[in-house]
A and B are shown apart, each in its own frame.
Chain A
Amino acid sequence: MNWLQAFIIGLLYYFSDAPWFFGEGYYVLQRPIVAGFLTGLVMGDPVTGTIIGATINLIYLGHLNVGGSMPSDMAVAGYIGTALALATNVSTEVALAIAVPLGLLGTIWWVGKMTIDSFFVHWADSYAAKGDEKGVMRMNWLPSAVMMLVFKVIVALVILMAGVPLMERFLNMIEGTNILHALGVVGGLLPALGIGLNLRAILKNETMPFLLVGFLLVAYFQISIVGVALFGVVFALIYMQMNKEGATYGG
């Protein structure tokens, strides 16, 4: 990890937020699978970066930002977590265990940003009172964009440049103990939270059988997720036909 790599990863972390990339940052660039891939590109190993990012993404599968309350910052987990894991060569399970506290840390500056941005909207108010529509438009992005650029690049530089040697020392210290195995157990468990969070949004008593079918298809027949999704499409089509008005079955 050199300064240039850390700086570029900081920039990527910044650009993963609004207003860049068609405003799709939260939906796309912040997903750790994308973050892992891009970070891997910067560090010269996109394939390992993708594997790590995909694994980290499992915890954030059910990430919901509702009414502006952010449960954790998956972008910092994805970009900085993958970079730390790549630089120290740890297993994907350990990478997960690093990413989680980073994601929680990120909620601190999310709250700060949401608070400070409230001031900028008052600047927009005073432009509106003058009838200056260009000013109103500018206040909706420029101040926040500058603030977050400076802040996120600094955060990434500090965590990455200080974090890598710290982690290396820690990993040396715990070599030969049970700690890596225990972190691996945690890493295996955490995806259940990501899936559970998503299920809270979509699972109802009526859809429980479909969850079980999806599970059984993989548990017993090792069908790929693409295959499971195709079964899901068929189930959805059957449901839509049965709910069509005036549908009759077997006469």
Chain B
Amino acid sequence: MAANVKLDKKDIQRSFWLWQFFSHANYNYERMQGGAFAMCMAPIIAKLYPNKEEKVAGLQRHLTFFNTNPNVGTVIHGAVLSMEEERANGADISDEAINAVKTGMMGPLAGIGDALDQGVIIPLLVALGISFGRTGNLFGPLLVLIGLPIILMAIAYSCWMKGYQLGSRAITDMLAGGRMKQIIGAAGILGCTVMGGLVATSVSFQTAIAFNIGEQEFNLQSQLFDAIMPGLLPLAVTLGVYALLRKEKFNATQILLGMVVIGFAGGMIGIF
């Protein structure tokens, strides 16, 4: 065996674009992104293993359960590409070794990736977009529509290529050292600052309760809450929701329904 087949840059890029477009095209409970992993590997497998038996085994190897963050998790795909290439050229790399890289790393990279994109990058850009969009400025939606895909694809592409360059070492390199932790820490600070601003601009909640103290009318909102701090109630509500979610006593849907009931009832009887 030990055929001399090399993957060229075009193969690697084609595989990347197949993943980029189709990672969630058949997302399902049984194997999650398994079919998509097989799809982006399929042309590679066909090129590396002309022998039918090996090709079948290769396709089946990648049709297994797989689920990770589609952007940062591409380090895995890159690493697997280089492992398959070495294996086809005679290196002693077992099925187990390839599976171990996939299953061992999809979890940690899902955690890191989701924290970075769904946790910070997307909310940040969307929050900026919303602040423009709410005033009717079309730059808001265009920022999200054009800016966000460019940022996310740049991350996915560079992680993919890094994975291919470093092979199975890629992931240990990425997780080792404090660099990833530092980036997530900095991103969290930026995200929290913007979310704080967003509480003040987007959540609106005030009470309409007023009563008389002797001759004097006392308005709870303007004479107490606003006097302490503008936006006190929106901040309290947001932190309250956060605390409920964090304790995991209620899920998001239950809190949603609670807000609808309380807000609606309070609005009807005139206390909000």
Task: Indicate, yes or no, whether A interacts with B.
Answer: yes
Name A residues whose Cβ lies closer than 8 Å to a Cβ of B. Answer: 17-24, 26-29, 31, 33-34, 36-38, 46-48, 50-51, 53-55, 57-58, 61-68, 71-72, 97, 100, 104, 113-118, 120-121, 124-125, 127-131, 133-134, 136-137, 139-141, 143-145, 178-179, 181-186, 188-193, 195-204, 207-208, 210-220, 223-226, 228-229, 231-233, 235-237, 239-240, 243
- B70, B137, B185, B244: the one contacting A243 at CB < 8 Å is B185
Docked-complex contact A68 and B203, CB < 8 angstroms: no
How many residue pairs at the A-B interface have CB separations less than 8 Å? 388
Take A28-B148, A185-B267 as given contacts and tell me if A235 and B260 are in contact as well, using a CB distance cutoff of 8 Å: no
6 contacts between A and B (CB under 8 A): A53-B141, A191-B198, A197-B252, A202-B115, A225-B130, A226-B131
Docked-complex contact B141 and A34, CB < 8 angstroms: yes
Fill in one digit per residue for B211-254: 1 if any A CB lies within 8 Å of its CB, else 0.
00000000000000000011100110110011011100000110
Docked-complex contact A141 and B26, CB < 8 angstroms: yes
Give the number of residues in B that approach A within 8 Å (Cβ atoms).
114
- Among B39, B63, B115, B195, residue most surrounded by chain A Cβ atoms (within 10 Å): B195
Question: What separation, in Å, do the CA atoms of A36 and B229 have in the docked complex?
Answer: 34
Question: What separation, in Å, do the CA atoms of A210 and B59 have in the docked complex?
Answer: 49
- Residue B60 at the A interface, CB < 8 A? yes
Docked-complex contact A225 and B119, CB < 8 angstroms: no
CB distance from A56 to the nearest CB of B (A): 10
Docked-complex contact A58 and B30, CB < 8 angstroms: no
CB distance from A207 to the nearest CB of B (A): 4
A24 neighbours in B (Cβ, 8 Å): 148-149, 152-153
Docked-complex contact B263 and A189, CB < 8 angstroms: yes
- A18, A33, A224: the one contacting B140 at CB < 8 Å is A33
Which chain B residues numbered 183 to 226 have a C-beta less than 8 Å away from chain A?
A: 185-205
Docked-complex contact B141 and A199, CB < 8 angstroms: no
- Among B56, B194, B259, residue most surrounded by chain A Cβ atoms (within 10 Å): B194
- A121, A145, A181, A189: the one contacting B35 at CB < 8 Å is A121
A63 neighbours in B (Cβ, 8 Å): 118
CB distance from B224 to the nearest CB of A (A): 16
Which residue of the partner chain A has the closest CB to B151? Answer: A27
- B20, B137, B140, B246: the one contacting A23 at CB < 8 Å is B20
Fill in one digit per residue for B118-138: 1 if any A CB lies within 8 Å of its CB, else 0.
111011101111111111111
- Among B141, B149, B246, residue most surrounded by chain A Cβ atoms (within 10 Å): B141
Docked-complex contact A31 and B188, CB < 8 angstroms: no
- Among A46, A117, A235, residue most surrounded by chain B Cβ atoms (within 10 Å): A117
Which chain B residues numbered 158 to 186 have a C-beta less than 8 Å away from chain A?
A: 178, 182, 185-186
